Structure 1
């Protein structure tokens, strides 16, 4: 497949997804974090510190090849995906917290993602340390993440009626685009990864399960409410695979690194859906006759 398709197409696809995220955000979503600082700080710490460390241990335990290990670390460093809100709603989580965490995580990723990627490249691919995200590429990450989100937020503020009409078709387009991004990444990286698909698939599933467990378990152990802990679990367990794939293919110019995020984009729906079902079922058992208004 023509590399120009990836160079232009993947950033454009990511822009659609991030624009759709922006349409669902307001400035208040960022401000709201201050009203639940403890829950937000714990969740963000799990996302930016605990999860990359766990992923590092996982890739070493599984003995992944250097490029695939970097792909896993890139995935772990990526912020929450937009579908986290949907799973959180089904599971009975604090969706407002989810939206705020997604907003803040997307901004934090501008700093944390390049740091994790560069350290991972140096650790696993010492001879190819130049592959990392240099200052110019870090600016591109900033543009890929922030500009479409800012445009979506601006449109929502200036044209709220038009935004409401756009949100549903853009959301559908985002889902279709994400599927296309995942498929394109698998096609591009197939030759170098086909002999390791079972191992990579197992690694991505384990990462998703670990992310969900850490996202729920750590806040709950520290006294955070169940609804907020569920929101944290979904935010940390569901990563923005489209961002990880785009960074791998267009900025790092390495299709093999994109394979773990691509497989994750498909497989993560299984543990996420199971977790949402179990959370919802437990809530029903606790309150079989919920109050109606």
Structure 2
């Protein structure tokens, strides 16, 4: 898999548009909701920031992934939830407001946690001459490609709320399409490389995805969160921002290691099907409970 000029140029644009779309859907109230309703947010963040990296580490070790693939999988675990999670949560009758809040907060926190986890992964899995840690200047670049478009989108929403409201749904669709295009471009250049790695890392990516969805749903349920919030958290930590992980892996100024993009590309492909299956399962097995919650919310 080679970082072609087309892919290198496309990724920052795609990621900027995706994060801009996220910003158009956010307000300061989404961040303030953490103070008003801390329990579901804290549970979701604990699953995302603490449990997932630990589980991902053991999966990488258990599958004996090659160093670059292991780092790529850890990079994916460190990535915040993707905007596609909001759409899947809506379709599965989850608490979309909680999804928005978790995405907003986790995107900010990821500015610190992603470089930290990536550097720890590089130090553990890669040999000394292969491990090129993310220096402070590179952390600032991650900050720029993630938060600046989000802040711009929030500013547009504040200054032109009607325009932002009209653009919110189209931007979600565009974000999903950009993710698909990013994965296709990452696969297309060196398909044989993907085929060679898929049997090795595909199982690890699938297991990590299924565990992410399961942990995100069942831990909140065990902690007695409402069904809709558990669905939202399951979608949020099961649908990662694969575009961000791929962009960081391929970027010449960040990791510049195409092999590290393979786990995120495979994961991003698989999660469309697993998330759809999870949403179907929730609606079939817990449809009555969801209907009751919807009726109570309407009243």
Question: The TM-score by the shorter chain falls in which range?
Answer: over 0.9
In structure 2, how many angstroms separate the alpha carbons of the residues matched to 1:202 and 1:128?
29
Conservation of the 8 A alpha-carbon contact between 2:227 and 2:290: no
Q: 2:286 aligns with which of 252, 268, 283?
A: 283
For the 8 Å contact 1:249–1:255, the answer to whether it is kept is: yes
Q: Hey, what does 1:124 align to over in structure 2?
A: 125
Equivalent-residue separation in structure 2 for 1:178 and 1:26 (angstroms): 24
Match of 1:69 in 2: 70
Counterpart position of 1:35 = 36
Q: Structure 1: any 5+ residue segments left out of the alignment?
A: none
Unaligned runs of 5+ in 2: none
Query: Partner residue of 2:108?
Result: 107
Shift of residue 76, structure 1, vs aligned partner: 0.7
The range that moved more, 4-13 or 112-121, is 4-13
CA distance in 2, matches of 1:239, 1:16: 16
Partners of 1:189 and 1:256 within 8 A in 2: no
Query: What does residue 273 of structure 1 align with?
Result: 276
**Cα separation, 1, equivalents of 2:230 and 2:290:** 18
* Match of residue 262 from structure 1: 265
Shift of 1:70: 0.6
Equivalent positions of 1:115-264 (< 5 A) are 115-128=116-129, 130-188=131-189, 190=191, 192-250=193-251, 251-264=254-267
Scaled by the length of structure 1, what TM-score is found? 0.93
Distance change (3 Å), C-alpha of 1:132 and 1:191: farther
TM-score by length of 2: 0.92
Cα deviation for residue 287 of structure 1 reads 6.8
Alpha-carbon separation, structure 1, partners of 2:86 and 2:263? 23
Say if 1:122 and 1:129, in contact at 8 Å, map to a contact too. no
Cα shift readout 1:176-222 (whole Å, capped 9, x = no counterpart): 22122112222356454431212222111111100011111222222
Q: 1:259 to 1:162 in 2, by over 3 A?
A: same
Contact 2:212 2:237 in 1 (8 A): yes
Supply the RMSD in Å over aligned alpha carbons.
Answer: 1.9
Distance (whole Å) between structure 2 residues aligned to residue 244 and residue 30 of structure 1: 24
- Check the 8 A contact 1:71/1:248 in 2, yes or no: yes
What is the count of residue pairs matched by the alignment?
Answer: 293
Aligned-pair distance for 1:286? 4.2
Q: Contact 1:91 / 1:279 at 8 angstroms: preserved in 2?
A: yes
